């Protein structure tokens, strides 16, 4: 029986079999319970027993078998749990899987990024159907051409005979295969896209780099010792290898086996040849060997920068996209006959060229529709398609069939010709700091970059895998690693979510249960987190009471009055340099070993469903939401194995509102011993693969692991307890701080970014000194260039105090304790390149979502709480946020492929943006404010007043920001010198949109005056405020100031 189709009451049960021994719980009637189903226990409660007595066996059985029953939670009346029926989560999943697969109707450059399915020795694999067909003869037979046609048009694979259209195409296919065989792809690439001359000069000027590349290329061609060495190592450890042992003692046989194994290893690899005594002790732990521990834990990080400047120069040799497009176009012309697209008109070929150009010049997440491209074709001009109708008219039903064939043909061209060419001649990747923009590197250039980067990594955090560095029995799979270009070098990225071997479970999947156990222990033992904050909600909960405490303190107010220009608090931020690479794995393992208190843990699995209104829906509509708006989120809480709660009891403890909870019933059990084994291998023997080589991480913790953030938090919490607080004790200790002294301080840490805020200047300087001294035991070293302080640290230091302190995307003003959003890294080009374009979705579905997506995470109460911030600060945050939204608004209008733009539609979209923003901010404010009195009438009135007040501010500032941006865009279009007639038309469109927004603004002013609003409508001061200088500076280049 498929458990996904079963009633959730039957989950955890099966029929008893002779091999069913060893299960935890058994029941009678030939049924075995291998997982406790607490939903069944809930049905045995007195309430259901009374209902059973009233209804009888047959009716109750009918209800349980044929209906889905939901039970309302008494503690949370807005939420329900599913008690019977097929799991609603599985029904939702099945509905999604039954939808039409449109993968072959869409194309994206993302399919060929990071050298997926890369072949080093050839452009087209020998298994490519054109390569196999070209080997059968020249020209190929009609039978072979029919096979090629069936691969191009997959719908014909099950048909006995081809249609007349495709039979007409057979001569063209024969010609295409002959042209493919004659095409010299490598020569064409050298002619159109030659290797950069500056790159050749760079290699000539650096013979050491050239020699290093040659040595690495020779390593690839080594013998197949990767299969032999693990076998021999296993033989050594297990004590058997040969079958030619005579009658001898056990120790004598083992000695001979070891000697034979060592002799074989010496012939396979020089690095593996050892003396018999060394081989006996291979893989054992020597407690007195501290040098090996020091080698594994302490890395020479200076070697990571050995080729930094060389890599930085090489990254500038990216291939221009114009040359890539020209290569692809020439290759398609040489291989695909013109008759395929229609020889009497060039419009069809023009459509193909437009598709290829959009693909090459696209960004990472851009998606293009083959259907839209095929719709532009003139099918009557394609001779092989016109079987029955020779004229210019094509019946609608015939046109549908022709367009489907064209979509298959376009998909075949992209997937079978363009993608292999791009994948094997170029390395395609995005770059750090350029959002979704991608770069093309020729293989010779990228080979040098990757070789130098791997050389640096081998000297720092990685070492080549060998029998000495790998554990004898591995439980975790090998992961992939790739290199990401950044402005000043290269960054290694480990993808632990997928395994190199598809048959094995990924590292993150294997460590998921361990992650849940650590989260449970951190919640039970808050000291394991220390000063950690994991999200903006926790930052808000820590900062708000602390800032209010300082603001309301009379001693602090007196101190500021006496001292004059003294800030309300002193703030220091420090960043640990390369924190993931400098963590000591052995010390971290000991911390984790002490953190786990239970011998065995149970990890539950259940889903929490929410129905969310889609962005495109009208906020005033009372219509029911579509089924696609219902989303499930998996939750896997851990607990001690002996403390299993019923699912109804677990749901009663949940604080989720307006939710549907569905029990997964099937649990995972994890012992402490097993968890520690997995953690030990994960920390000391993380294996990654790149370019066919395997490497073992010898220091730090794996980046990209599901555990990395949790491990980092626990490690630096230990650093705080053992190092920081010993030298900077907490002020709450009466033995250190007098009772009459007024001191307020707060330490926050987001992963490795520390922020210390205090009203005591001496303690702020002490924290700065302690952190900059570092700690060798924990490998903690501060990145001095990123440290910030709003006071003079040392009279001899050249460091100038910072006015605003930037930390975790925020700007904090210690002078008056106001919080703003940090837009320092924002730029117009970055903002534009961060917008993905998807042709398969209508503008009505995506426009508003694309406008608000970058600011949705900044709708938090931290930036709009009137109890925390002043009115001017709230308006500044609103203005900056809406200015970014307005700029994306204009960018999207330019990006959308519309000839006749409907400005009424865009005007309505702007109104929906403001409505969404108002509701989002009010919702977060409601969650952030004190909820102790939410059941009384006063908070409801206060909530309504808060919503109306926030709506007035959002609409006042929002209409001002949109008018400012659109007026500037109109001026920019009018001032353009190219294409006056076209630009004049666009200017009129922008003017129409501006007029409608100004009318909306005047109407809002009238309504506000009628309601006696206190919000000021004169907002020109925002353009002169120094807090907005960073945002306005980014738009001055586009005429937005």
Determine the straight-line distance between the first and last CA of the chain, rounded to whole angstroms. Answer: 67
Beta-carbon count within 10 A of 279 CB: 20
Using one digit for the tens of pLDDT, what is the confidence trace for 489-522?
Answer: 888 889 999 998 889 999 999 999 999 999 999 9
Please state the φ and ψ torsions of residue 988, each to the nearest 5 degrees: -65, -35
Interhelix angle for 843-852 vs 871-895, to 10°? 140
570-575 and 788-789 strand pairing: antiparallel
**CATH number for the segment(s) 103-195+317-440:** 1.10.132.70
Using one digit for the tens of pLDDT, what is the confidence trace for 136-188?
Answer: 888 899 999 999 999 999 888 778 888 888 898 999 999 999 999 999 999 99
- In whole angstroms, give the CA distance from residue 891 to residue 7: 50
3-state secondary structure of 202: helix
- In whole angstroms, give the CA distance from residue 228 to residue 237: 14
Q: What are all long-range contacts of 273-281, with beta carbons under 8 Å and residues at least 24 apart?
A: 279/236
- In whole angstroms, give the CA distance from residue 417 to residue 426: 14
- In whole angstroms, give the CA distance from residue 554 to residue 1031: 36
Q: CA Rg, the chain, in Å?
A: 34
Average pLDDT over residues 742-747: 86
The angle at the Cα of 910, spanning 927 to 921, to the nearest 5 degrees, equals: 10
- In whole angstroms, give the CA distance from residue 253 to residue 271: 26
Residue 288 has pLDDT above 50, yes or no: no
For residue 729, the model assigns a pLDDT of 87
For residue 380, the model assigns a pLDDT of 82
Which has the higher per-residue pLDDT, 931 or 924? 924
- In the chain, the largest separation of any two C-alpha atoms, in whole Å, equals 108
pLDDT band at 276 (very low <50, low <70, confident <90, very high): very low
Ranges assigned E (strand) in 343-389: 368-369
Which has the higher per-residue pLDDT, 941 or 400? 400
Using one digit for the tens of pLDDT, what is the confidence trace for 103-130?
Answer: 567 899 998 998 766 666 678 887 888 8
Using one digit for the tens of pLDDT, what is the confidence trace for 907-929?
Answer: 999 999 999 999 989 888 888 77
% pLDDT > 70, the chain: 79
For residue 280, the model assigns a pLDDT of 37
For residue 307, the model assigns a pLDDT of 85
Using one digit for the tens of pLDDT, what is the confidence trace for 572-624?
Answer: 999 998 888 889 999 999 999 999 999 999 999 999 988 765 544 444 444 44
* Residues 728, 733, 739, 744, CA torsion sign: positive
For residue 160, the model assigns a pLDDT of 81
C-alpha to C-alpha distances, 651 to 194, 636, 933, nearest whole angstrom: 64, 13, 23
Average pLDDT over residues 10-24: 67
Using one digit for the tens of pLDDT, what is the confidence trace for 788-813?
Answer: 998 888 755 556 677 899 999 899 99
Structure tokens at 559: 């101190």
- The H or E element spanning position 851 is helix 843-852
* DSSP letters spanning 415-476: IIIIHHHHHHHEEEEE-TTSTT-EEEEEHHHHHHHHHHHHHHHHHHTEEE--TTTS-SS--S
% pLDDT > 90, the chain: 34
For residue 427, the model assigns a pLDDT of 93
pLDDT band at 1012 (very low <50, low <70, confident <90, very high): low
* DSSP letters spanning 536-592: HHHHHHHHHHHHHHHHT-HHHHHHHHHHSS--S-EEEEEEBTTHHHH--HHHHHHHH
Structure tokens at 378: 């003139």
Using one digit for the tens of pLDDT, what is the confidence trace for 311-355?
Answer: 999 999 999 999 999 999 999 999 999 989 987 667 899 999 999
Beta bridge partners of 106: 369
Structure tokens at 187: 């020569």
Using one digit for the tens of pLDDT, what is the confidence trace for 953-968?
Answer: 899 999 999 999 888 8
pLDDT band at 712 (very low <50, low <70, confident <90, very high): very high
C-alpha to C-alpha distances, 198 to 194, 201, 204, 205, 315, nearest whole angstrom: 11, 5, 10, 10, 12
pLDDT band at 216 (very low <50, low <70, confident <90, very high): low
pLDDT band at 19 (very low <50, low <70, confident <90, very high): low
Average pLDDT over residues 712-726: 94
Residue 941 has pLDDT above 70, yes or no: no
Q: Which residues of 742-768 are buried (b: 16+ CB within 10 A; e: fewer)?
A: ebbbbbbbbbbbbbbbbbbeebbbbbb
Please state the φ and ψ torsions of residue 697, each to the nearest 5 degrees: -75, 120
Using one digit for the tens of pLDDT, what is the confidence trace for 621-653?
Answer: 444 445 456 788 889 999 998 888 888 888 888
For residue 395, the model assigns a pLDDT of 79
Nearest to 37 by CA among 582, 483, 646: 646
Give the residue extent of every domain in the chain: 3-97, 103-195+317-440, 198-284+306-314, 827-1036
- In whole angstroms, give the CA distance from residue 153 to residue 147: 10
Which has the higher per-residue pLDDT, 833 or 114? 114
- CB of 201 within 8 A of CB of 439? no
Task: Say which range, 251-265, 856-870, 968-982, has the weakest mean pLDDT.
Answer: 251-265
Average pLDDT in the chain: 81
* DSSP letters spanning 208-251: HHHHHHHHHHHHHT--SHHHHHHHHHHHHHHT---S---S--HH
* DSSP letters spanning 498-525: EESSTTS--HHHHTHHHHHHHHHHHHH-
For residue 619, the model assigns a pLDDT of 42
Which of the 8 DSSP states describes residue 343?
S
Please state the φ and ψ torsions of residue 948, each to the nearest 5 degrees: -65, -40
For residue 284, the model assigns a pLDDT of 41
Average pLDDT over residues 344-367: 89
Task: Say which range, 95-99, 679-683, 742-746, 889-893, has the weakest mean pLDDT.
Answer: 95-99
Nearest to 958 by CA among 920, 911, 991, 922: 911
Beta bridge partners of 807: 810
Residue 695 has pLDDT above 70, yes or no: yes
Average pLDDT over residues 76-83: 88
- CB of 441 within 8 A of CB of 426? yes
- In whole angstroms, give the CA distance from residue 724 to residue 618: 53
479-486 and 489-499 strand pairing: antiparallel
Structure tokens at 493: 């990225």
């Amino acid at each position: 029986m498929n458990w996904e189709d079963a009633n959730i009451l039957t989950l955890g049960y099966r029929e008893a079999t002779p091999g069913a021994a060893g299960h935890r719980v058994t029941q009678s009637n030939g049924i075995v319970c291998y997982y406790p189903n607490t939903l069944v226990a809930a049905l045995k409660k007195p309430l259901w027993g009374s209902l059973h007595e009233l209804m009888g066996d047959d009716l109750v059985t009918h209800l349980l078998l044929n209906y889905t029953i939901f039970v309302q939670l008494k503690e949370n009346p807005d939420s329900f749990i599913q008690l019977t029926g097929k799991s609603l989560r599985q029904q939702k999943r099945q509905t999604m899987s039954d939808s039409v697969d449109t993968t072959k109707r869409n194309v994206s450059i993302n399919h060929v990024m990071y050298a997926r399915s890369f072949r080093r020795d050839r452009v087209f694999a020998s298994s490519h159907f054109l390569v196999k067909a070209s080997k059968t003869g020249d020209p190929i037979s009609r039978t072979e051409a029919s096979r090629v046609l069936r691969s191009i048009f997959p719908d014909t694979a099950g048909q006995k005979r081809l249609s007349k259209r495709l039979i007409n195409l057979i001569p063209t296919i024969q010609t295409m295969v002959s042209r493919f065989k004659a095409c010299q792809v490598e020569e064409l690439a050298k002619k159109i896209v030659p290797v950069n001359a500056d790159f050749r000069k760079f290699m000539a000027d650096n013979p050491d780099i050239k020699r290093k590349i040659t040595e690495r290329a020779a390593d690839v061609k080594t013998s197949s010792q990767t299969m032999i060495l693990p076998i021999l190592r296993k033989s050594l450890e297990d004590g058997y290898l040969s079958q030619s042992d005579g009658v001898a003692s056990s120790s004598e046989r083992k000695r001979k086996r070891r000697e034979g194994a060592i002799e074989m290893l010496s012939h396979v690899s020089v690095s593996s040849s050892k003396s018999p005594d060394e081989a006996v002790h291979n893989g054992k732990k020597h407690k007195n060997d501290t040098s090996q521990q020091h080698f594994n834990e302490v890395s020479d990080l200076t070697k990571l920068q050995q080729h930094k400047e060389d890599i930085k120069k090489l990254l500038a040799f990216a291939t221009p996209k114009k040359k890539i497009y020209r290569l692809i176009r020439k290759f398609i012309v040489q291989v695909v006959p013109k008759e395929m697209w229609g020889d009497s008109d060039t419009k069809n070929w023009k459509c193909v060229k437009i598709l290829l150009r959009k693909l090459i010049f696209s960004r990472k997440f851009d998606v293009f529709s083959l259907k839209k491209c095929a719709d532009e074709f003139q099918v009557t001009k394609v001779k092989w398609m016109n079987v029955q109708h020779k004229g210019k008219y094509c019946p609608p039903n015939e046109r549908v069939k022709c367009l489907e064939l064209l979509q298959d043909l376009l998909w075949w061209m992209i997937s079978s010709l363009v993608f292999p060419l791009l994948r094997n001649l170029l390395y395609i990747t995005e770059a750090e700091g350029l959002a979704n923009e991608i770069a093309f590197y020729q293989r010779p250039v990228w080979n040098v970059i990757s070789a130098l980067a791997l050389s640096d990594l081998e000297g720092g955090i990685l070492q080549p895998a060998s029998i000495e560095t790998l554990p004898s029995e591995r439980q975790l799979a090998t992961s992939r690693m790739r290199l990401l270009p950044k402005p000043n070098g290269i960054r290694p990225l480990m993808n632990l979510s997928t395994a190199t071997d598809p048959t094995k479970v990924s590292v993150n999947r294997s460590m998921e249960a361990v992650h849940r156990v650590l989260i449970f222990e951190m919640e039970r033992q808050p000291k394991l987190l220390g000063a950690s904050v994991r999200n903006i909600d926790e930052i808000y909960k820590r900062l708000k009471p602390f800032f209010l405490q300082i603001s309301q303190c009379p001693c602090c107010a007196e101190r500021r009055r006496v001292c004059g220009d003294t800030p309300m608090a002193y703030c220091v931020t420090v960043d640990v340099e390369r924190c993931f690479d400098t963590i000591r794995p052995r010390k971290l393992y000991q911390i984790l070993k002490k953190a786990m208190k239970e011998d065995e843990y149970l990890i539950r699995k259940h889903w929490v469903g929410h129905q969310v209104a889609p962005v495109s829906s009208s906020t005033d509509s009372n219509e029911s939401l579509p089924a696609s708006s219902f989303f499930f989120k998996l939750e896997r809480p851990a607990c001690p194995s002996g403390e299993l709660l019923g699912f109804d009891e677990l749901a009663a403890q949940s604080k989720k509102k307006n939710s549907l909870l569905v029990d997964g019933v099937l649990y995972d059990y994890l012992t402490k011993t097993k968890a520690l084994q997995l953690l030990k291998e994960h920390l000391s023997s993380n294996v990654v693969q790149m370019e066919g080589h395997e490497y073992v991480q010898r220091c730090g913790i794996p980046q990209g692991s599901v555990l990395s953030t949790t491990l980092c938090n626990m490690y630096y919490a230990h650093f705080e307890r053992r190092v920081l607080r010993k030298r900077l004790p907490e002020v709450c200790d009466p033995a250190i701080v007098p009772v009459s002294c007024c001191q307020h301080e707060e330490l926050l840490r987001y992963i490795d970014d520390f922020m210390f805020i205090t009203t005591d200047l001496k303690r702020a300087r002490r924290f700065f000194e302690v952190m900059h001294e570092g700690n060798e035991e924990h490998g903690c070293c501060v990145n001095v260039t990123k440290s910030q302080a709003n006071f003079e640290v040392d009279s001899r230091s050249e460091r100038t105090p910072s006015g605003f302190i930037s930390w975790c995307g925020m700007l904090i003003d210690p002078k008056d304790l106001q919080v703003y959003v940090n837009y320092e890294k924002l730029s117009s080009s970055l903002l534009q390149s961060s917008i993905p374009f998807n042709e398969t979705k209508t503008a009505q579905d995506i426009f508003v979502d694309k406008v608000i997506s970058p600011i949705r995470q900044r709708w938090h109460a931290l930036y709009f709480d009137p109890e925390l911030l002043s009115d001017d600060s709230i308006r500044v945050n609103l203005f900056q946020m809406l200015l970014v939204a307005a700029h994306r608004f204009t960018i999207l209008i330019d990006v959308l492929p519309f000839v006749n733009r409907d400005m009424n539609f865009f005007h309505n979209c702007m109104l929906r943006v403001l409505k969404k923003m108002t509701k989002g901010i009010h919702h977060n404010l409601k969650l952030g404010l004190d909820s102790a009195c939410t059941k009384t009438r006063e908070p409801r009135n206060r909530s309504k007043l808060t919503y109306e007040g926030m709506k007035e501010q959002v609409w006042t500032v929002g209409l001002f920001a949109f008018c400012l941006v659109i007026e500037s865009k109109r001026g920019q279009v009018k001032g353009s010198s190219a294409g006056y007639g076209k630009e004049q038309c666009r200017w009129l469109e922008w003017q129409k949109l501006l007029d409608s927004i100004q009318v909306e603004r005047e109407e809002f002013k009238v309504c506000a005056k009628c309601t006696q609003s206190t919000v000021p409508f004169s907002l020109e001061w925002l353009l002169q405020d120094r807090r907005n200088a960073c945002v306005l500076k980014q738009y001055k280049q586009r005429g937005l100031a």
